[in-house]
Amino acid sequence: MAPPPRADLQQPACPLFDLGQLYATRGLIAHLEANPGTAVQALVRRHVAGDYGELSASDRQANVDAIASGERILSAYTVAGERVYLITEDTDGQGPGRITTALLAVEY
């Protein structure tokens, strides 16, 4: 019998918005590989489920408004001492439509 799936790898019951194309910077990937315990997939699941991490109340409200209007959605988490951002936004006709980028704050 196979073990049950890990909770941090399960899909959210109902994503709040479309992620579009997903990108992660080399810096973030290297940081996660050097500090096992958090996968980029787990951060993406939190982001799309509305767990925006370490944001102010006004930034959280801005995300709620952004979901309705199609504007940029931001999440911020701390992973192994480094601030990580996930940003979902439209490319305004400059690419594949909607994209989500996961990156270290120092790469922003």
Alpha-carbon distance of 95 to 93, in angstroms, equals 6
| pLDDT for residue 6 is more than 50 | no
Residue 2's pLDDT band, with cuts at 50, 70 and 90, is: very low
Domain boundaries, the chain: 18-107
pLDDT (tens digit per residue) in 62-87: 999 999 998 999 999 999 999 999 99
pLDDT (tens digit per residue) in 16-48: 999 999 999 999 999 999 999 989 999 999 999
Counting beta carbons within 10 angstroms of the beta carbon of residue 48, is it exposed (0 to 12), middle (13 to 18) or buried (19 or more)? buried
